[in-house]
Amino acid sequence: MPEDLPEPAPTFRTKPVSFVRRSGRMSEAQERAWSELAPFYLFDVPRDVASTSVHADARLVPADVYRREAPLTVEIGSGQGHAIVAAATAHPERDFLAVEVFRAGLARTMLDADRAGARNLRLVEANAPEVLETLLPEASADEVWVFFPDPWHKSRHNKRRLVKEGFGAIAGRALRDGGVLRLATDWEDYALQMREVLDAEPEFERAFDGDWAPRFDGRVMTAFERKGLNKGREIRDLAYRRVARV
């Protein structure tokens, strides 16, 4: 290529993502939820190259979106939204953001939130690391939740895991000093990886004594937890505090 020509723009992501986008059709109720409820619940993300990406200049300013100043909990990979809708309903004094790439799950979350009358919840359809690294302002989140992330248990797929080396910087950017990162998984080797990675990340310190954190009482039972229990797997919780920025 002649030297004076600019590099071609990348046409796809350079990093592996932690999801495979399911094209599963939405039910009629979910389609209706999308068109009727998305204007209120869904934050419209300016995109980069991929449909779940976040444009480098895109910003979600919580005070503008929620029209108030309140502590913000961000759940990444919120699935059907059971945990976050329950939390938003139980804590009207806090704000909540669900981040998910699974459209039918987002539709279900909107339907349940609407039914529960939760107005302190918004949804983002995007790749979670990009939301934490780019879309949210630095130090804007009070808590970040990662419950039952896809385990990618075959070793050749491990690189797709959400919580791996470098995740401390990603989550630590979005969290305020003293904010809390909560995790849960039913896969023992992923639990061990999460703990090893986060113990080593300079942004975080343990917020639990002993080997594992007690079950977070704001975490409701979901189908993924039930499936793990039915298969005889142990559920492990972790909690890490964002150390003060220097």
User: Could you give the residue numbers annotated as active site?
Assistant: 150
Single-letter amino acid, residue 177: D
Q: Which is nearer to ligand SAM, 127 or 193 (CB)?
A: 127
Residues 202, 168 contacting (CB under 8 angstroms): yes
Stretch that binds ligand SAM, among 16-24, 114-122, 163-171, 190-198 (CB under 6 A): 16-24
β-strands 175-185, 141-147 pairing: parallel
The sign one gets for the Cα dihedral 74, 180, 20, 22 is negative
- Residue 77 in the binding site for ligand SAM (CB under 6 A): yes
Secondary structure letter of residue 33 according to DSSP? H
CB of 18 or CB of 120, closer to ligand SAM: 18
Binding mask 115-154 for ligand SAM (x = CB under 6 A): ------------xx------------------xxxx----
Ramachandran region, residue 149 (left: φ > 0; alpha: ψ -120 to 50; beta: rest): beta
The stretch near ligand SAM (CB under 6 A) out of 12-20, 31-39, 133-141, 237-245 is 12-20
3-state SS class at 182: strand
Residue 45 carries which side chain, given as an amino acid letter?
A: V
Q: Interface with ligand SAM by CB under 6 A: which residues?
A: 17-19, 76-79, 99-102, 105, 127-128, 147-150, 162, 222, 224
Annotated binding residues for substrate, written as ranges, equal: 154, 186, 222-225
